Amino acid sequence: MSTKKPGVIGILTGGGDVPGLNPAIRAVTIRALREGYQVIGLRRGWGGLMDLVRDKNADNSPNYQLLTEEVVNRAGRTGGTFLHTSRTNAAKVKKESVPVHLREKYHEERNDLTEEILKNLDFLGIDYLIPIGGDDTLSYAVRLLKEGFKVIAIPKTMDNDVPGTDYCIGFSTCVTRTINLTNNLRTIGGSHERIMVLEVFGRYAGFTAMLPTMAGAANRCVIPEWKFNIDRLAELLVYDRNHNPSKYSIVMVSEGATFEGGEMVFQDGATDAFGHAKLGGIGDLVSAELQNRTAKYNNGVTINIINQKLGYMVRGGDPDAIDSVVPMAFGNLALDLLIKGIHGRLVVLKNGRYDNVPLEVVTGSKKVVNVNEFYNTDRYRPKYESFEMKPLFIMTSEG
């Protein structure tokens, strides 16, 4: 009998960590090993693959590891990613981020290291690549696909904003954590009779604010897809607070939300590898402006504000049930495609069914809240109507 393996699969995780990544890695690895493939885990996303030294005597242990059932079973029930992650765009590497051993060759302000990535994949003997990430990580996967490499991608992001799929790994746990944390804060809001401003992730898409609000965690939400009027928001929140027997109200604020006539709020001038400036601070501004306006709608009496950024607390810890089951299915779906010789696909959930679509969808469109379908722009909250035949988490770009 032939002992030749059918091939070597490389798997990586890029962008922000979310619960559900380790179950996805586990699913891919166990199925692949049982089908006879070898699996290499690439550390730190595209960063580990970029930093590799093509010398058999070099210590490349920080950049990759061979995956076994023992390794992935131990990690598969935990949150985060044991392969680690980074926000690396190998097509536009800043001069100071070029690996030391490549700096004589690449010394522009921005450098395309795709040639090195392809050589490193060949050096490791990787035949197929399964990246798990959001639209930034997967946009570089599209680049490798165009270079002729065999890629099958898995969508991950707590914002749920990868185009082409109704669901991305990490979203359910994010919503669950947001609801739980908000409910914990209610005792404080009620005790002090305040308005609570909770800032949540969501650069361009408001799903992480919309779903918890729809589930009853907040009275109102403001999202990146619709610029809000701060006076109208203050009026609504004062009304909500004064009609609550416990005398408090809550608004969820997406980090990418903007005031009417304003722009996104950034922490500083630094940008990541994909050109995104770090967001943060909209919750502080909303809190300050609300405090200044509450008396106008509360018979001249100012209402104090509780301002809390939920941030990384919603992406930590173990995955919930959905983020344990969906990654398992996504990983096996990726192997189904690979075994059939099908590449250049993104595994997805559409209309409650597992499927796959062309990988290029991640660079060909944007996934944001369909405002007309799902958001009440006067009441600053989701619409609670027309749920028939909607997917599990209600909202998609297509409505």
With respect to residue 307, please indicate whether it lies within any of the assigned structural domains: yes
Residue 281 confidence (pLDDT): 85
398 confidence band (pLDDT: 50, 70, 90)? low
With respect to residue 269, please indicate whether it lies within any of the assigned structural domains: yes
Task: Name every residue whose Cβ is closer than 8 Å to that of residue 209 and which is 6 or more positions away in sequence.
Answer: 200, 202, 218, 221, 222, 223, 252, 253, 254, 257
2 confidence band (pLDDT: 50, 70, 90)? very low
**Beta-carbon neighbour count of residue 105 at 10 Å?**
11
pLDDT at 227 over 90: yes
Model confidence over 193-214: pLDDT tens digits? 999 999 999 989 999 999 999 9
Among residues 191, 185, 183, 380, the alpha carbon closest in space to that of 290 is found at: 380
Same domain, residue pair 88 and 210: no
Indicate which CATH number applies to the domain containing 291: 3.40.50.460
Model confidence over 238-288: pLDDT tens digits? 999 999 999 999 999 999 999 998 776 766 655 665 555 666 689 999 999
Same domain, residue pair 134 and 223: no
Same domain, residue pair 177 and 282: yes
With contact defined as beta carbons under 8 Å apart, do 136 and 89 qualify? yes
With respect to residue 397, please indicate whether it lies within any of the assigned structural domains: no
Amino acid sitting at position 172:
S
353 confidence band (pLDDT: 50, 70, 90)? very high
pLDDT at 374 over 80: yes
The yes-or-no answer on residue 336 being catalytic is: no
Same domain, residue pair 231 and 274: yes
List beta partners, residue 277: 271
With respect to residue 398, please indicate whether it lies within any of the assigned structural domains: no
| Mean pLDDT over each residue of the chain, to the nearest integer | 94
Same domain, residue pair 130 and 229: no
Q: What is the 3-state secondary structure (H, E, C) of the chain?
A: CCCCCCCEEEEEECCCCCCCHHHHHHHHHHHHHHCCCEEEEECCCHHHHHHCCCCCCCCCCCCEEECCHHHHHHHCCCCCCCCCCCCCCCCCEEHHHCCHHHCCCCCCCEECCHHHHHHHHHHHCCCEEEEEECHHHHHHHHHHHHCCCEEEEEEECCCCCCCCCCCCECHHHHHHHHHHHHHHHHHHHHHHCCEEEEEECCCCCCHHHHHHHHCCCCCEEECCCCCECHHHHHHHHHHHHHCCCCCCEEEEEECCCCECCCCCCEEEEEECCCCCEEECCHHHHHHHHHHHHHHHHCCCCCCCEEEEECHHHHCCCCCCCHHHHHHHHHHHHHHHHHHCCCCCEEEEEECCEEEEEECCHHHHCCCCCCHHHHEECCCCEECCCCCCCCCCCCCCCCC
User: Which domain range does residue 243 map to?
Assistant: 172-311+371-382
pLDDT at 389 over 90: no
Same domain, residue pair 62 and 159: yes
The CB-side HSE value for 134 (13 A sphere, CA atoms) comes to 24
Q: Give the count of domains, the chain.
A: 2
Residue 351 confidence (pLDDT): 87
CA dihedral (77, 80, 86, 89) positive or negative: positive
1 confidence band (pLDDT: 50, 70, 90)? very low
Indicate which CATH number applies to the domain containing 37: 3.40.50.450
Calculate mean pLDDT across residues 110-124: 98
With respect to residue 66, please indicate whether it lies within any of the assigned structural domains: yes
Residue 3 confidence (pLDDT): 46
With respect to residue 3, please indicate whether it lies within any of the assigned structural domains: no
Model confidence over 150-178: pLDDT tens digits? 999 999 999 999 999 999 999 999 999 99
With respect to residue 135, please indicate whether it lies within any of the assigned structural domains: yes
pLDDT at 396 over 80: no
Same domain, residue pair 125 and 54: yes
The two three-digit tokens of residue 200, written as one number: 């949540």
| Pairing relationship of beta strands 277-279 and 266-271 according to DSSP bridges | antiparallel
With respect to residue 291, please indicate whether it lies within any of the assigned structural domains: yes
Same domain, residue pair 297 and 331: no
Same domain, residue pair 258 and 350: no
Among residues 233, 255, 49, 46, the alpha carbon closest in space to that of 137 is found at: 46
Same domain, residue pair 105 and 157: yes
Lowest mean pLDDT among 45-54, 123-132, 200-209, 257-266: 257-266
Query: Among the options 17, 135, 159, 166, which is catalytic?
Result: 159
Same domain, residue pair 354 and 269: no
**Beta-carbon neighbour count of residue 289 at 10 Å?**
17
Record the pTM: 0.93
The two three-digit tokens of residue 353, written as one number: 């069914």
Whole-number percent of the chain with pLDDT over 70: 94
Model confidence over 57-71: pLDDT tens digits? 999 999 999 999 999
Q: At what angle do helices 114-124 and 135-146 cross, to 10 degrees?
A: 80
Same domain, residue pair 256 and 378: yes
